[in-house]
Chains A and B, each alone.
Chain A
Amino acid sequence: MPANLRPWIVPALLAGLVIFLLVGSLRSALFAQQTVSGLANGGIYASLGVALVLIYRATQVINFAQGAIATFTTYVAWQFMQWGLGYWGAFVITLCVAFAGGIAIQLVAIRPVERRGNVLTVVIASIGVLIAVEGAVGWIWGPEIRFMPSAFPVRTYHVGGVAFSLQDLGTIGVSIASVVVLWALFQFTKLGLAMRAAALRPNAARLVGVRVSWMLSFGWGLAAVLGAIAGMMAAASPSVLLQPNMMDGVLIYAFAAAVLGGLESPLGAVIGGLAIGAMLNLLSSYVSWVTPQLLLPAAFVVMLTVLLVKPSGLFGRTRVHRV
């Protein structure tokens, strides 16, 4: 049945969603506010979702440690700020730490098991990383909830009776900017070309001189950087806060975003993340029985529905298996 879906379905669905959000926002100030703060959450899901897609495309492995790594790097940023660094200084240093950390984890934990070619072994290794890294956060910084400063001043802009918080707008901006930079890296640099080649045709890439295994490590580094950005944005939001397991829930929304986008498409993960962020926020503010506890199960239902109705998501390729 999924293969028979018409090609115009996806653009039509997206256009419908955009029109729904726009019309609602124009008619009600509250709706507009909730949409924007939902999109801000969505930006966070999108960054983490793109990180997952990056690794999945290259190695067909879901990185379950993505959330834990993001949490760790967020604590690193917090620590630098405690030592007196300004926000953006700490931000840049943290991105460097995340890049190095991502590569290190790939080298130490993932590469030795990847050679054996068993998907489940790699999944368990990534779960080992998840336990170790989350444990390290608790060990170094303790279980207390910390206060993570925000990159943006607490200020609201009023446009036609609607209050937009600078925090929300900034989160959307940073997430989108980071994904655009990543896209430019892949599209316009020689390194990006080599990474795409290594992901799509490893053997052919090796023949023309691309160092495939290094490109994979690089991919993990970039994914960790995206995760760090998502983590720093998430920790500043009042619904998440800086605590050792803060990314567990965010990771599920990122999964849902990636699945909605087709699991192989970075653009799909971005659109999926924004859509899920906005819809969940609207759902919890307009449907009275949807409590915050029900949002995770709702994300599960979204994933399940997407996989049942259109397993290739919005932008994924439909794979045909040869018997």
Chain B
Amino acid sequence: MKRRWFELGLIAAAALVVAVMPFLLSNYNRSQGATVAVYLIAILGLNIVTGYTGQISIGHGAFMAIGGYTTAILTHNHGWNDVATLPIALAIGFGAGVIVGLPALRFHGAYLALLTFALALAVPQLAKNYSHFTGGTEGLALPTHTGLWLYGLAWATATVVFVLTWVLLRGRTGRAFRAVRDSEIAAASSGIGLALHKTLAFGVSAAFASVAGSIYVLINNFVNPDVFGLTLSLYILIGAVVGGLGSLWGVVVGAAFVQLLPIGLTSSNAVSSEAVPVVFGAIVIVVMALLPQGSAVILGGIAGLPNRFRRSHSSYPPPRMEAR
């Protein structure tokens, strides 16, 4: 009971920070804050498929590209209201995730990593090629919005997605996902449909990434194939792992890590802006060496503080990935 109150307090504090933040920031920093929410949504999606269901995906930037282009094409070419495109992006993203998830049923570990990595590089090439839809390398422009509006939209969506994920994962489906992750054979023997749950995980995951892509495009008010380059996919995966796979609160830490750390490094003048990727990559390597389960270990420790003297409490088992 004590633990529950402690957690609720943490949630309230986090919500308060997110709600008050935009009024303390400049317009530019508000859109940076909105981008944190974009990463949060995309990493939540990736965490469902990689953290909870155990299927590696390095290509979630591809799903973000699908959502981003859905929004851009509908608003730019067909005059839609931009917020109205979000449900469409969600639906198309779900479809794309199911299509990718179907062949992924047969692959594990390294092979799935290879395929999704290739997907992340292949999708922007498609956008370059079919330029009469997508504007090619020149891209498409979208209506501009104030930083406050973007911040509100991004964090409101992030909150909805977070709650949806929590509801999905706490019940029967979430248990089935985790069972598939821990042992496919055991899960199948206890009557869990492997195909259904893996494709469902891929679909939901891609749908969230797709919405994240839509909002990302709205924040940039511009889209071209380079927006969804390889780096974006890599950053989402890094965020998910640094935050802690299989941990919902870790996702928040991961999103802040990938968006704010490079900005912090640049603005602190500690390193020149060209050197930021080098330092960022080095930090990723160090974090992996010291904290392979991500921030979830630390977060679990904090959340467990009230219980510390009552019993040893570990509710964060490390996710197991199969080698192949």
| A135 and B281 within 8 A (CB) | yes
B324 interfacial contact with A, CB 8 Å: yes
B 102-120 to A, binary, CB cutoff 8 A, 1 in contact else 0 = 0100110111011101110
B318 interfacial contact with A, CB 8 Å: yes
Least distance between A5 CB and chain B CB atoms (Å) = 15
Interface size range on A against B: 35 or more
Least distance between B82 CB and chain A CB atoms (Å) = 27
Specify which of B115, B128, B237, B284 is in contact with A293 (CB 8 Å cutoff). Answer: B128
B323 interfacial contact with A, CB 8 Å: yes
Q: In this complex, what residue of A is CB-closest to B111?
A: A307
| A132 and B282 within 8 A (CB) | yes
A 204-215 to B, binary, CB cutoff 8 A, 1 in contact else 0 = 000000000000
Specify which of A112, A121, A300 is in contact with B118 (CB 8 Å cutoff). Answer: A300
A24 interfacial contact with B, CB 8 Å: no
**Segment with Cβ contacts to B, from A163-171, A252-260, A270-278:** A252-260
B129 interfacial contact with A, CB 8 Å: yes
Question: In the docked arrangement, what's the CA distance between A8 and B246, Å?
Answer: 45
A224 interfacial contact with B, CB 8 Å: no
Question: In the docked arrangement, what's the CA distance between A308 and B288, Å?
Answer: 33
Of the candidates A131, A259, A296, A297, the one having the most CB atoms from chain B within 10 angstroms of its own CB is: A131
| B282 and A128 within 8 A (CB) | yes
A 94-130 to B, binary, CB cutoff 8 A, 1 in contact else 0 = 0000000000000011001100101111011101111
B 283-324 to A, binary, CB cutoff 8 A, 1 in contact else 0 = 111001100100000000000000000000000001011111
| B285 and A109 within 8 A (CB) | yes
Known A61-B110, A293-B129, A307-B111; judge A113-B288 contact (CB<8 A). Answer: yes
Q: In this complex, what residue of B is CB-closest to A61?
A: B110
| B234 and A135 within 8 A (CB) | no
B25 interfacial contact with A, CB 8 Å: no
Least distance between A216 CB and chain B CB atoms (Å) = 16
Question: In the docked arrangement, what's the CA distance between A316 and B230, Å?
Answer: 29
Q: In this complex, what residue of A is CB-closest to B289?
A: A112
Of the candidates B109, B125, B238, the one having the most CB atoms from chain A within 10 angstroms of its own CB is: B125
Enumerate chain A residues within 8 angstroms of B234, measured Cβ to Cβ: 127, 130-131
Question: In the docked arrangement, what's the CA distance between A295 and B125, Å?
Answer: 9
Enumerate chain A residues within 8 angstroms of B281, measured Cβ to Cβ: 128-133, 135
User: What's the dominant secondary structure at chain B's contact region?
Assistant: helix
Interface size range on B against A: 35 or more
B 63-78 to A, binary, CB cutoff 8 A, 1 in contact else 0 = 0000000000000000
Enumerate chain B residues within 8 angstroms of A130, measured Cβ to Cβ: 234, 281
Known A128-B281, A296-B121, A300-B122; judge A307-B106 contact (CB<8 A). Answer: yes
Q: In this complex, what residue of B is CB-closest to A256?
A: B118
| B275 and A108 within 8 A (CB) | no
Question: In the docked arrangement, what's the CA distance between A307 and B114, Å?
Answer: 11
B217 interfacial contact with A, CB 8 Å: no
Specify which of A62, A125, A263, A307 is in contact with B289 (CB 8 Å cutoff). Answer: A125
Enumerate chain B residues within 8 angstroms of A56, measured Cβ to Cβ: 110
Known A120-B245, A135-B281; judge A64-B117 contact (CB<8 A). Answer: yes
| A135 and B276 within 8 A (CB) | yes
| A124 and B106 within 8 A (CB) | no
| A138 and B110 within 8 A (CB) | no
Least distance between B109 CB and chain A CB atoms (Å) = 6
Q: In this complex, what residue of B is CB-closest to A259?
A: B114
Q: In this complex, what residue of B is CB-closest to A249?
A: B121
B196 interfacial contact with A, CB 8 Å: no
Specify which of A128, A248, A255 is in contact with B285 (CB 8 Å cutoff). Answer: A128
Enumerate chain A residues within 8 angstroms of B107, measured Cβ to Cβ: 307, 311
Least distance between A51 CB and chain B CB atoms (Å) = 14
| A108 and B110 within 8 A (CB) | no
B126 interfacial contact with A, CB 8 Å: yes
| B122 and A319 within 8 A (CB) | no
Enumerate chain A residues within 8 angstroms of B129, measured Cβ to Cβ: 291, 293-294
Specify which of B238, B275, B280, B320 is in contact with A124 (CB 8 Å cutoff). Answer: B238
Known A108-B285, A135-B277, A135-B278; judge A124-B111 contact (CB<8 A). Answer: no
Within A291-323, the residues touching B (CB, 8 Å) are 291, 293-297, 299-300, 303-304, 307-308, 311, 319, 323
B92 interfacial contact with A, CB 8 Å: no
Specify which of B274, B283, B324 is in contact with A138 (CB 8 Å cutoff). Answer: B274
Enumerate chain A residues within 8 angstroms of B126, measured Cβ to Cβ: 293-294, 297
Enumerate chain B residues within 8 angstroms of A308, measured Cβ to Cβ: 103, 106
Enumerate chain B residues within 8 angstroms of A109, measured Cβ to Cβ: 285, 289
A60 interfacial contact with B, CB 8 Å: yes
Question: In the docked arrangement, what's the CA distance between A308 and B285, Å?
Answer: 34
| A299 and B118 within 8 A (CB) | yes
Q: In this complex, what residue of A is CB-closest to B115?
A: A303
B56 interfacial contact with A, CB 8 Å: yes
Q: In this complex, what residue of B is CB-closest to A305?
A: B103
Enumerate chain A residues within 8 angstroms of B56, measured Cβ to Cβ: 120, 123
Closest 8 A/B residue pairs (Cβ): A135-B277, A132-B281, A128-B284, A131-B281, A293-B129, A112-B289, A128-B285, A297-B122
**Would you give 10 A-B contacts (Cβ < 8 Å), ordered by A?**
A64-B117, A120-B245, A123-B113, A125-B288, A135-B274, A136-B277, A255-B118, A291-B129, A293-B125, A311-B111
Which B residues fall within an 8 A CB radius of A?
50, 56, 58, 103, 106-107, 109-111, 113-115, 117-119, 121-122, 125-126, 128-129, 185, 230-231, 234, 237-238, 241, 245, 272, 274-278, 280-285, 288-289, 292, 318, 320-324
